[in-house]
Amino acid sequence: MLKTHHCGALNAEHVGQEVTLAGWVNRRRDHGGLAFIVLRDRGGLVQVVSSPEIAPEAHAVASEARGEYVLQVQGVVRRRPEDQVNPDWPTGEIEIEAHAMRILNPAQTPPFYIYEDSAVDEALRLRYRYLDLRRARMQHNIILRHQVVHFIRNYLHERDFLEIETPFLFKSTPEGARDYLVPSRIHPGKFYAL
């Protein structure tokens, strides 16, 4: 199983439960022999703690991981010490004590930080669109679009409408892919470009 929960869905009610998470490394830091990873998926953020005494293999993976690596983490949800609670996060009361960890996909250092909503040049964001779509603002837009389309489809479906997808007809573009030409039956010698 790839994961049992989204990162942002965990809270104090899950303390003591074994969970499996998968997501991007948002941030990583070492402190006092422990490795701390903030793991991110579309559900939010959660802190993962890796100790060389508890799980040396998981700790080795955590030490190797860098920003935007994709990890799978298995561990137990535990309450954070009172002085380490982060009230800014929905998951700020808890952390995951990692027992197993594996790299699903390594990554190169990204050209901009995904977790910061700083003033990144739009041309750079568009050049690396696949990274830009991981930012919280873009995720929110994608989810909102999905919800609107889902609502409209359900509304029409409940009223017995039938959805039919027809081919798109549009003008040919000079640098686009090769056109698929369909001869017109009404206008001999003319074609539709699909």
Q: Which backbone phi and psi does 76 adopt, to 5 degrees?
A: -110, 135
The pTM (predicted TM-score) of the whole model is 0.76
**Residue 57: C-alpha distances to residues 17, 48, 63, 103 (Å):** 21, 15, 10, 12
Can you read off the two tokens belonging to residue 128? 């690396």
User: Where do the H-state alpha helices sit in 65-135?
Assistant: 122-127, 129-132
SS3 content of the chain, % helix, strand, coil (to 5): 25, 30, 45
CA angle 145, 147, 151 (to 5 degrees): 120
Tens digit of pLDDT at every position of the chain (194 positions): 799 999 999 999 999 999 999 999 999 999 888 999 999 998 899 999 999 999 999 999 999 999 999 999 999 999 999 988 999 899 999 999 999 999 999 999 888 888 766 678 889 989 999 999 988 889 999 999 999 999 999 999 999 999 888 766 666 666 666 777 788 888 888 887 76
Can you read off the two tokens belonging to residue 38? 């903030």
Sorted by where each starts, the structural domains of the chain and their CATH numbers stand as 7-105 (2.40.50.140)
> Measured between alpha carbons, how far is 56 from 133 in angstroms, rounded to an integer?
34
DSSP code of 29?
A: E
